[in-house]
Amino acid sequence: MKRILTGDRPTNESFHLGNYVGSLANRVKLQDEYDSYILIADLHALTTHFDKTTDLEKNIRGLMLGYLSIGLDPEKVTFCLQSGINGTTEIAYILSILTQRSVLERQPALKEKLDQGNQDTLGLYYYPVLMAADILAPKANLVPVGKDQKAHVEFARDIAIKFNNLYGNVFPIPEPLIGEIPTLPGTDGQGKMGKSLNNAIFLTDTPEDVEKKVMSMYTDPTRLKVTDPGHVEGNPVFIYLDAFGTDDDKPQTTNYKLLYSKGQVGDVEVKKFLVKVLNNFLDPIRKRRAEYENKPELVDKILKEGTEKARIEAQKTLLEVKKAMKIDYFI
């Protein structure tokens, strides 16, 4: 069975709808088809949150609850904590020897992170190398990621090919997998939903939270009154309906699109329908999360056992790497 590796930085304790369509939905879908590893990347979190380590434990637990609440099955998925996987950082160092500094300076996310005020540290530059090691240590074949992380997977492919060409075929060449809706707009109509942008609907939001956020959503700024024909294309309300509506919701969504384009239905009515659709989607997630919140020992056990399994895999790969490079003198 081919293997998946994907994961998230614990810089927040909850996922939002954009995370779900961008990556989480694929993880649930593929857990029956692949040997799935999901990494909580706490070392990566330190590149931008090195002064907020007291938040890590809370955020790690929050991500675990998020994974389990969306339907990821611990009997099928290996959940692991990056800092507990001995071997990955040593693989990363070896990969760094094969990496030109100019390549790291051109990474797309670097300028964005620096523009956001993050400190210009070696760890920030090193991020793609460590991420490549995260992917290659368990020998992942497929990496479900959001659109903004695709470049990092491509770097992992390039460095795996370079290593294999130099030392022999140790690593499989990983492929990125982007969600069907690569970017979900924020509730403010901006191009991307984000945790820090105050434009997100979270999987932990209450029904009342969802209603408040939806009813204040950006729709069509050119529509001054209900009878004005509205734009469906690019309208966040309809994008969300397409993304989260069930087959039973599709006829009503199609009808609203037609009426909206003709100026025969108001934003309020369509938004109320979206509130219902989103809460129907979120209700089973809320229920599962509540069940796991009452079992903290079980959640810890799942993560601890998964981390040990991932550590063993990383150690196996590290041994193969050293043997291929002829630096296994005392092993």
Backbone angles phi, psi at 201, to 5 degrees: -105, 120
What is the tens place of the pLDDT at every residue in 237-293?
A: 999 999 999 999 999 999 999 999 999 999 999 999 999 999 999 999 999 999 999
Question: How far lies 295's CA from each of 9, 73, 74, 81, 303, in Å?
Answer: 23, 15, 14, 19, 13
Name residue, tokens 């390039």: 158
- Has residue 176 got a pLDDT over 70? yes
Rounded distance between C-alpha atoms, residue 121 and residue 105, angstroms: 12
Q: Which amino acid does the sequence have at 285?
A: I
212 as an active site residue: the answer is: no
Domain extents in the chain: 3-184+296-325, 207-289
Q: What pLDDT, on the 0 to 100 scale, is given for residue 113?
A: 83
What share of the chain in percent tops pLDDT 90? Answer: 75
**Was domain 3-184+296-325 assigned CATH 3.40.50.620?**
yes
Q: Are 156 and 112 in contact (CB under 8 A)?
A: no
Rounded distance between C-alpha atoms, residue 290 and residue 132, angstroms: 35
Which among 113, 150, 304, 309 is annotated as catalytic? Answer: 113
Rounded distance between C-alpha atoms, residue 205 and residue 294, angstroms: 18
Question: How far lies 290's CA from each of 16, 56, 188, 200, 204, in Å?
Answer: 17, 21, 29, 21, 10
Exposure letters 66-84 (e unless 16+ CB within 10 A, then b): bbbbbebebeebbbbbbbb
What is the tens place of the pLDDT at every residue in 68-84?
A: 999 999 999 999 999 99
Question: How many other C-beta atoms are found inside a 10 Å radius of the C-beta of residue 201?
Answer: 24
What is the tens place of the pLDDT at every residue in 108-119?
A: 778 788 878 888
Q: What pLDDT, on the 0 to 100 scale, is given for residue 181?
A: 66
192 as an active site residue: the answer is: yes
Which among 29, 150, 162, 195 is annotated as catalytic? Answer: 195
- Has residue 331 got a pLDDT over 90? no
Q: State the fold for domain 207-289.
A: Tyrosyl-Transfer RNA Synthetase (1.10.240)
113 as an active site residue: the answer is: yes
Nearest to 13 by CA among 61, 83, 46, 49: 61
Which among 147, 150, 162, 192 is annotated as catalytic? Answer: 192
Rounded distance between C-alpha atoms, residue 143 and residue 154, angstroms: 10
Virtual torsion, Cα 206, 252, 243, 248, nearest 10 deg: 90
Q: Is pLDDT larger for residue 150 or for residue 254?
A: 254
Q: Which amino acid does the sequence have at 173?
A: I
Q: What pLDDT, on the 0 to 100 scale, is given for residue 53?
A: 81
- Has residue 182 got a pLDDT over 70? no
Question: How many other C-beta atoms are found inside a 10 Å radius of the C-beta of residue 65?
Answer: 23
Nearest to 159 by CA among 202, 129, 122, 182: 129
- Has residue 198 got a pLDDT over 80? yes
Q: What pLDDT, on the 0 to 100 scale, is given for residue 195?
A: 80
